[in-house]
Amino acid sequence: MADDAAAGTRILVGTSGYSYDDWRGVLYPEGLGKDEFLKYYSLRFPFVELNFSYYAMPTARSLASMAARTPSGFLCSIKAHRSLTHEPTADWRKDAAAFADAAAALAAAGKLAGILVQLPYRFHRTPENRAYLGSLCDELTDFPLFVEFRNDDWFGGKTLEELDERGIGLVLVDAPDLKGLPPDIDAVTGKRAYVRFHGRNAEAWWSGDNVTRYDYLYSEDELAGWVPKIRRIAKKAELVLVAFNNHARGRAVTNADRMTQLLL
């Protein structure tokens, strides 16, 4: 954990997910049981982005158990289930209620940094999508929220003003320099910030899967280039979450460790 001296802001650096078999030998000892991964991870990093919740609806019981396995002060963000972001149905409000019930267990344990609403590239800035996003945020309004847009449509108009008025944090991304992806900005909304490092694997971005797309190791210069930007962000935010999503082959661990050192 790093602290911005001027603003008193906590900067928490961690990874997107933690339960990867190919992290054995990088973060986890070879013989460590997977049920011990989270506890071991929490001794190394102060924050984790839980992404299993995108694929399977979490329960209050499972999240309370996870919270109990981590030390005091450790925080989790939790990715919204795909039924709320990528595959909404007519019953999405029921799914939102189920997700909120689970997230409340993390909040009650003092371990919830926020809910990550990651939207797909195809989710463009249309009146219908704006209305849906507003309604979804209303359903989850009891929790700190972060929204990640995957295209550049949303960075015009009054999107950032509306997020700020609602107290919702904008997710900033590091990704390949490709047409249509979000711009490189350092805006802060809702007095909280979230930076996600997806890697710069341009060749696999459109054609890769959820492993190959993010198979990228940041160089020292690439990480160092973000340090002054993160510090600027920290002067405008009460909390800054930094998550490395380049999880293939433990590269997120390597880069998160180095970013932590650079921010000291």
Q: What is the pLDDT of residues 8-53, one digit of tens each?
A: 679 999 999 999 999 999 999 999 999 999 999 999 999 999 999 9
Residue 161: other Cβ atoms inside 10 A: 10
Domains plus CATH for the chain?
2-263 (3.20.20.410)
d(C-alpha 214, C-alpha 244), whole Å: 10
Q: State residue 210's pLDDT score.
A: 87
Report whether pLDDT(209) > 80.
yes
d(C-alpha 242, C-alpha 86), whole Å: 23
Q: State residue 9's pLDDT score.
A: 72
140: tokens are 């989850």
pLDDT digits (tens, 9 = 90+) for 115-125: 999 999 999 99
pLDDT digits (tens, 9 = 90+) for 74-117: 999 999 999 999 999 999 999 999 999 999 999 999 999 999 99
- For the chain, the DSSP string reads -EEETTTTEEEEEEEE----GGGBTTTB-TT--GGGHHHHHHTT-SEEEE-HHHHS---HHHHHHHHHTS-TT-EEEEEPPHHHHTS--TTHHHHHHHHHHHHHHHHHTT-EEEEEEEPPTT----HHHHHHHHHHHHHTTTS-EEEE-SSGGGGSTTHHHHHHHHTPEEEEEE----TTSPP-----BTTEEEEEE----HHHHTT--TTGGG-----HHHHHHHHHHHHHHHTT-SEEEEEE---GGGHHHHHHHHHHHHH-
Report whether pLDDT(4) > 90.
no
Q: Percent of the chain at pLDDT above 90?
A: 95
Report whether pLDDT(196) > 50.
yes
Report whether pLDDT(3) > 70.
no
Q: State residue 217's pLDDT score.
A: 98
139: tokens are 């359903």
Amino acid letter, residue 97: A
156 pLDDT band, cuts 50/70/90, is confident
Q: Which residue has the higher pLDDT, 48 or 2?
A: 48
Q: Tell me the mean pLDDT in the region 197-220.
A: 95
Q: Mean pLDDT over all residues of the chain?
A: 95
